[in-house]
């Protein structure tokens, strides 16, 4: 029989996986380039679309900057949660072989998944917090509502889990860019980050409504509970759980 | 006890491992000797839960590697051929994460002891990427030993190391054996197999073609070798079973210098496979 201390430790078997990622993340944060690279794209969008184009545009009954900032937070959290997990996991699996240390440890595959996803969420939240700070000091009508916080957390969970799937499936590091170009890039532009989805033609709207980020953008801008909000919440939760289950299964079935 | 029974692995049309079977006793150091591409690393990956065999079974201390993988992982330590340390973490952090993953009690003491065992205490807080090849190897071994595994797997532990560092590694492996660990190592260095292993398995093209102690294997093919340069300028070797036989054979060579010496594992390998180990 295992001693009590080991059984208790067994409940947190995801923690070493998370801690490892955080130690590596801390090292990255000490490099100025990382913080800059995490911020540069959304800040450029903010300046170009928000302060440039946005001065003469109103969107969904509000000024464009107030419409844009939540969308940029959603996009930034998606990009960072997804990309860091997909890229790091793929490199660790194929090139550095450090993933093998996790697979050969006596912890369940779901713990590896949870540790990686929580680490991806942390990175996504860190990157989006920088945009949130910009939003809070900008003249936009921007505040953090419970819908905003829920959408942000679920978005990070959903895309970090998707990042694990990509990291496990991509056969090379170049392959992760292909996944990025086909999945993440279209979502960034079509899912309601820069303009309301309602303005798109009906056939395209049907495709857009399947995209997970579309539902993040609905929830993150929600002002109260209604049918759309509940649907967005349900869709995001479903996507998150499905991606998490697939990622866990891929880790469980890992074989070289 | 470690038991491998008829395991096979194919990658497409390539048969990497072909129905390999062997048994290791507790506290034994067993070496898999073979050239690059013989299937050594694939066997280790299958035995350490990283690669699923296409056929056959493998058990470690009675635990099936596939069905009881989680429990197997609790009792094995692995030194892979590639350096898979986290380069951006310090030596101490690398070991601390591993200790947490393997739920080692009193981590701080265990990590400090592991670093001391491989003479890396003074570099504990340096990033692994700043280590030399020999230091990285020693840290990999310290990591594999950290959770006090019952069975240790070392895949080409001294590849690319200079002779002095190689001998330091051998000492660590010998100490592990004295501590009662069962050790399986792969190597293509003849002298490493001769220096460390109680028994050796010779692998060629995915097949295990001979198993035994170094002396047994030498005796099988012949304890003595007569060698000389043939008329075509190529080295000619004959393995025979006695010194007298070897000298008698030497007498029959008409011209040139003839050497009579005791056989070694390389001679065994050449005799059994028709190839020289590279």
pLDDT tens for residues B257-272?
A: 888 888 888 888 888 8
Q: Does residue A97 sit at the B interface (CB-CB below 8 Å)?
A: yes
Whether B101 sits inside 8 A of A105 (CB atoms) is yes
Q: Does residue A34 sit at the B interface (CB-CB below 8 Å)?
A: no
pLDDT for res A8: 47
Checking if the pLDDT of A4 tops 60, the result is no
pLDDT for res B207: 93
Rounded mean pLDDT, A177-190: 88
Whether B97 sits inside 8 A of A6 (CB atoms) is no
| Chain A neighbors of B101, CB-CB under 8 A | 13, 16-17, 101-102, 105-107
Q: Identify which of A96, A107, A255 has the shortest CB distance to residue B101.
A: A107
Rounded mean pLDDT, B159-167: 81
pLDDT tens for residues B212-243?
A: 998 888 888 888 888 888 878 788 888 888 88
Rounded mean pLDDT, B34-41: 88
Distances (CA, A) of A69 to A62, A149, A157: 12, 14, 20
pLDDT for res A94: 94
pLDDT tens for residues A126-170?
A: 989 888 888 888 777 888 889 999 999 999 999 999 999 999 999
Whether B97 sits inside 8 A of A256 (CB atoms) is no
The residue with greater pLDDT, A50 or B273, is B273
Identify the bridge partners of residue A80 per DSSP, sorted by sequence position: none
Confidence of residue A219 (pLDDT cuts 50, 70, 90): very high
pLDDT for res B214: 87
How is residue A105 written in tokens? 């440890």
Q: Does residue A1 sit at the B interface (CB-CB below 8 Å)?
A: no
| Chain A neighbors of B74, CB-CB under 8 A | 106
Checking if the pLDDT of B40 tops 50, the result is yes
Checking if the pLDDT of B13 tops 80, the result is yes
Checking if the pLDDT of A246 tops 50, the result is yes
Checking if the pLDDT of A9 tops 70, the result is no
Whether A108 sits inside 8 A of B70 (CB atoms) is yes
In chain B, % of residues over pLDDT 90: 54
Distance CA B167, CA B190 (A): 14
Distance of CA A153 to the CA centre of its chain: 8
pLDDT tens for residues B173-195?
A: 898 888 889 999 998 888 888 88
Name A58's Cβ contacts closer than 8 Å, sequence gap at least 6: A64
Mean pLDDT of chain B: 89
Name B177's Cβ contacts closer than 8 Å, sequence gap at least 6: B27, B29, B183
CB B89 within 8 A of CB B99: no
In chain A, % of residues over pLDDT 90: 53
Distance CA B253, CA B250 (A): 6
Q: Does residue A108 sit at the B interface (CB-CB below 8 Å)?
A: yes
CB B48 within 8 A of CB A104: yes
Model ipTM?
Answer: 0.86
| Chain A neighbors of B92, CB-CB under 8 A | none
How is residue B199 written in tokens? 């028994």
Whether B86 sits inside 8 A of A100 (CB atoms) is no
Rounded mean pLDDT, A172-196: 87
Whether B101 sits inside 8 A of A24 (CB atoms) is no
pLDDT for res B28: 93
Locate the chain B residue with the closest alpha carbon to A7. Answer: B103
Rounded mean pLDDT, A201-212: 89
Confidence of residue B277 (pLDDT cuts 50, 70, 90): low
């Amino acid at each position: 029989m295992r001693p009590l201390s080991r059984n208790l430790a067994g409940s947190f078997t995801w923690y070493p996986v998370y801690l490892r990622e955080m130690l590596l993340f801390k090292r990255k944060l000490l490099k100025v380039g990382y913080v800059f690279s995490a911020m540069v794209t959304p800040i450029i969008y903010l300046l170009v679309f928000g302060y440039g184009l946005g001065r003469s545009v109103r969107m969904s009954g509000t000024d464009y900057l107030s419409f844009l900032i939540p969308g940029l937070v959603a996009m930034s959290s998606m990009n960072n949660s997804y990309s860091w997990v997909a890229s790091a996991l793929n490199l660790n699996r194929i090139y550095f072989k450090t993933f093998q240390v996790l697979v050969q440890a006596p912890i369940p595959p779901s713990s590896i998944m949870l540790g990686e996803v929580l680490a991806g969420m942390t990175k996504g939240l860190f990157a989006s917090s920088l945009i949130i700070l910009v939003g809070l000091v900008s003249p936009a009508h921007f505040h953090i509502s419970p819908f905003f916080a829920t959408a942000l957390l679920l978005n990070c969970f959903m895309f970090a889990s998707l990042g694990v799937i990509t990291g496990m499936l991509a056969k090379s590091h170049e392959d992760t860019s292909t996944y990025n170009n086909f999945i993440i890039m279209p979502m960034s532009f079509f899912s309601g980050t820069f303009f309301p989805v309602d303005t798109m033609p009906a056939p395209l709207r049907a495709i857009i409504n399947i995209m997970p980020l579309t539902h993040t953008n609905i929830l993150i801008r929600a002002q109260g509970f209604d049918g759309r909000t509940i649907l967005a919440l349900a869709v995001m939760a479903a996507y998150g759980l499905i991606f998490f289950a697939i990622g866990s299964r891929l880790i469980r079935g890992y074989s070289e | 006890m470690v038991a491998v029974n008829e395991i096979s692995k194919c990658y497409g049309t390539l048969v990497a491992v072909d129905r390999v079977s062997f048994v290791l006793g507790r506290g034994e150091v067993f070496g898999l000797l073979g050239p690059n591409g013989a299937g050594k690393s694939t066997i280790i990956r299958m035995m350490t839960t990283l690669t699923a065999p296409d056929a056959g079974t493998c058990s470690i201390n009675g635990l099936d590697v596939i069905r009881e993988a989680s429990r197997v992982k609790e009792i094995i330590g692995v030194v892979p051929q590639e350096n898979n340390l986290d380069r951006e973490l310090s030596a101490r952090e690398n070991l601390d994460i591993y200790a947490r993953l393997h739920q080692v009690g009193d981590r701080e003491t265990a990590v400090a002891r592991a670093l001391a065992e491989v003479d890396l205490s003074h570099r504990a807080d340096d990033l692994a990427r700043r280590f030399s090849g020999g230091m990285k190897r020693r840290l990999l071994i310290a990591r594999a030993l950290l959770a006090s595994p019952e069975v240790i797997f070392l895949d080409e532990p001294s590849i690319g190391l200079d002779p002095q560092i190689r001998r330091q590694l051998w000492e660590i492996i010998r100490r592990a054996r004295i501590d009662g660990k069962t050790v399986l190592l792969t190597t293509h260095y003849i002298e490493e197999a001769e220096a460390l292993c109680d028994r050796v398995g010779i692998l060629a093209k995915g097949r295990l073609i001979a198993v035994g102690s170094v002396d047994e294997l030498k005796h099988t093919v012949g304890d003595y070798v007569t060698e000389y340069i043939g008329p075509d300028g190529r080295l000619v070797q004959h393995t025979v079973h006695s010194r007298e036989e070897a000298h008698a054979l030497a007498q029959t060579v008409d011209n040139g210098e003839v050497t009579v010496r005791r056989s070694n594992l390389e001679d065994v390998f050449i005799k059994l496979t028709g190839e020289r180990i590279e």
